[in-house]
Amino acid sequence: MKITAADVVVTSPGRNFVTLRITTEDGLTGLGDATLNGRELAVEAYLREHVAPLLLGRDAHAVEDTWQYLYRGAYWRRGPVTMAAVAAVDMALWDIKGKAAGMPVYQLLGGACRTGALAYGHASGRDIPELLDSVREHLADGFRAVRIQSGIPGLDSVYGVAASAAGDGDRYDYEPARRTGTAHPRPTEETWDTRAYLRHMPTVFEAVRHTFGPELPLLHDGHHRMTPIQAARLGKDLEPYDLFWLEDATPGEDQGALRLIREHTTTPLAIGEVFNSVHDYTTLLQERLIDYVRSAVTHTGGITAVRKLLDMAAVYGVKSGMHGPTDISPVGMAAALHLDLAVHNFGIQEYMRHAPDTLEVFRTSYRFEEGLLHPGDAAGLGVELDDAAAARFPYEPAYLPVNRLRDGTVHDW
C-alpha cells in the first residue's frame, strides 16, 4: 500500500497546531501531530520541505522501517524539531494501519491492559482560596487526581496558574504560548522569585491536604525553576503531604542533578516533557533516579519510539506519566491514550480539555468518564481533521514566556 501524498496543515483554533496527513493509493488517510509549542513553523518546514518528499511511494505498512529511515538516514538525529516530525509520520502510519485492519491502534499494540487511563487535571489559583475552589471544580468534573499550582505572594504572574494574568491581561487557560498581536512579537517576560516559591508551596499543600484529605493524588510541577539543592529542599518539605510526584524540579538537561535530589527526599520524581529520545533517559532509568517518564508521543518520535522507551522504563520499575496539556493536539492525545491502554507500566495521564474551537477542527472519539480516559474503539487513532474548520483559524505567532529574576537575570522556567 503505497503513500501517494503527505500534506501539512497548520491551524490555530485557540492555539497553533501542526498536523501531518498521509494518504495512500487505497484512499486511506492517517493523521500525525507535529506541534512544537512556540516553534511550530520550524516543524512545518522540516516536514513539508524535507520529510514529505521522502515518503512518496513508500509502503505505508512499513512503520518500523520508515521510522529508522527518517531517524538514521538524515544523519542529524534527535532534537525537538526532528523528533516531532518523525513522530507525526509515525502516528499517521499507525493510524493508517489501524484503519486498514479495522481496529483501534491499542489492539495492534497488544490489546488493553486496563479499562481506562487515570487522568489528572490542572487545578490552580492566584491564592489558596481560589486554588481550593479550582480543586473542587475538578473533582466535580470527575477528576480523581489533580495537579496543584498556586500564585506566589509578591509575583503578579506565574506560569501554570490559569487565572494568573499572563503579562497581557489574558488567562493561561488554553494558550501558555502568548499571542502579542504585534508585527514583531516577543515573548512575555515574567518576574520570578525562587525563595518566595519555596516558602509558599508547603503552606499550599498543607491547605489542600487539610481540605481534601489524604487519599486524593496530588501532583506539582516545578517547571525546571530550581537548583538541585533547592529541589531537594522542596521535595523534603513536601514529604508530609504525600505527593504523587514532583515534576521537572530542575532543568532536564542536567541528569546528574537528580542524584542529589534523590539522596535527600522520598517524594516521587517525574521528568521528561522536554526530552525527545530514549537516550535522554538512560542514566535516569538505570540509576532509578526518577519514578515517572513524562515524554510526549508528539515530541519523542511517535508511538514506535515511546513504546520502546516505556518498555525500557518497565525494566527499572519506572512508570509512564505522558505530557498531555493543550500544546498536544487531539491527534497527539489520542496516540498517548492508545499507548496508555496497552503498556503494562502505565502510571497516569495528564489531561487538559481542549477549547471548543479545537474540537471543531479535530473530531475525536476518545472519552473521559469517572476520572479515566479511553481512546475509543474507532479504527486507527480515532481522530479526524475538518479541513474547512481548520482553514478558518490561520496561524498566529505565539511564544512561551521568559522568566527573569528580580535582578533582571533570565531564569529557567
C-alpha cell at 88: 507525526
What does the pLDDT read at residue 403? 82
Summary count for the chain: helices (H), strands (E):
14, 18
What does the pLDDT read at residue 168? 47
What does the pLDDT read at residue 184? 66
Task: Tell me which residues are annotated as active site.
Answer: 159, 223
Q: Are 133 and 189 in contact (CB under 8 A)?
A: no
Give just the sign of the alpha carbon dihedral 286, 292, 294, 297: positive
What does the pLDDT read at residue 353? 94
CA-closest candidate to residue 254, choices 278, 233, 234, 274: 274
Q: Are 52 and 6 in contact (CB under 8 A)?
A: yes
H/E stretch holding 330 reads helix 330-342
What does the pLDDT read at residue 160? 80
Averaged pLDDT, groups of 10, the chain, 413 residues long: 98 96 98 96 98 98 98 91 98 98 98 98 96 97 97 86 57 58 73 94 98 98 95 98 97 92 98 96 97 98 98 98 96 98 98 96 98 98 98 91 83 73
